[in-house]
Amino acid sequence: MIFTVAIDGPAAAGKGTISRAIAARFGLRHLDTGLLYRAVGRKVLEGAEPVAAARALVPEDLNVPGLRGSEAAAAASQVATIADVRAALVDFQRDFARFDGGAVLDGRDICTVICPDAAVKLYVTASPEVRAERRFLELSQAGADVTRDGVLQDVLARDARDMGRAEAPLVAAADAVVIDTSDMAIDEAVERAADVVAAARKD
Ligand code: CDP
């Protein structure tokens, strides 16, 4: 059975937590598509050419340590502006979305470009300040040497690049359900998303 849950939104809005919880609750496979761009970004930091790196990507590249850090995130949002990099990653994502048993994919262009026919489309967002605070806590708890203001500047720069790029810019799909998590505990956001998924499962 093909059942795709597509989740888009800006950095640190809660997409990852919601996606993992939805996947576990409904028994779906999960792909964090940001990791694909982070893995390409990491290879470019090591000297690779971006398009060649995207074409040569293998699943093991997604398990490299440090991929969740801010250096890989900044490199990811730079390679993500390149049309041929995005094109090289499309088939892998669409194959994953068609996994028999159902799949959750989260990213920036899942509802708009990768899976426009998904059974469920969500846009998860929050104010930049709330997102920066969450990312600051996440990174500092993981031992990274970061400041609140530095993380906020990174989030704002990445938002501007992701929303302003010509190729697959970050935007809420017209038919996506918007979940603004600015004033929500994460459990509440998960329940909101789960209600939408449960309703679509009944159709
Ligand atoms: O975890 P966080 O939301 O901070 O970022 P991510 O989802 O890991 O994505 C890192 C970067 O990859 C984003 O800032 C985007 O530039 C890019 N990306 C994209 O262009 N398209 C996607 N489907 C996923 C990520």
Q: pLDDT tens for residues 42-83?
A: 999 999 999 999 999 999 999 998 898 889 999 999 999 999
Looking at residue 112, what is its pLDDT? 98
- Ligand 1 atom nearest residue 41's Cα: 12
User: Which residue among 7, 37, 79, 154 has the greatest number of ligand 1 atoms within 8 angstroms of its CB, and so is best to mutate?
Assistant: 37
Could you tell me if 8 and 110 are in contact, meaning their C-beta atoms sit under 8 angstroms apart? yes
- Ligand 1 atom nearest residue 32's Cα: 7
Residue nearest to atom 7 of ligand 1 (CA): 34
pTM of this structure = 0.95
Residue 187, pLDDT > 90, answer yes
How far apart CA 130 and CA 85 sit, in angstroms, is 30
Minimum mean pLDDT range among 32-46, 63-77, 174-188? 63-77
Q: Which residue, among 57, 6, 22, has the nearest Cα to 172 in the 3D structure?
A: 6
Long-range contacts at 61-69 (CB < 8 A, ≥ 24 apart): 62/35, 62/36, 64/39, 66/42, 67/35, 67/38, 67/39, 67/42, 68/38, 68/142, 69/139, 69/144
Residue 202, pLDDT > 90, answer no
138 C-alpha to ligand 1 centroid (Å) = 16
Minimum mean pLDDT range among 33-47, 62-76, 123-137? 62-76
Looking at residue 145, what is its pLDDT? 93
Residue nearest to atom 2 of ligand 1 (CA): 11
How far apart CA 44 and CA 50 sit, in angstroms, is 6
Could you tell me if 29 and 147 are in contact, meaning their C-beta atoms sit under 8 angstroms apart? no
Q: φ, ψ for residue 187 (rounded to 5)?
A: -60, -40
Looking at residue 46, what is its pLDDT? 95
Could you tell me if 175 and 119 are in contact, meaning their C-beta atoms sit under 8 angstroms apart? no
Mean pLDDT, residues 155-164 taken together: 95
Task: Please indicate whether residue 203 or residue 104 has the higher confidence score (pLDDT).
Answer: 104
Q: φ, ψ for residue 29 (rounded to 5)?
A: -80, 150
Residue 1, pLDDT > 90, answer no
128 C-alpha to ligand 1 centroid (Å) = 15
Residues with CB under 6 A from ligand 1: 11-12, 16, 33-34, 37-38, 73, 76-77, 80, 107-110, 158, 162
Cα-to-chain-centroid distance, residue 109:
9
Residue 203, pLDDT > 80, answer no
Mean pLDDT, residues 31-37 taken together: 97
Q: For all residues of the chain together, what is the average pLDDT? A: 96
Percent of the chain at pLDDT > 70 equals 100
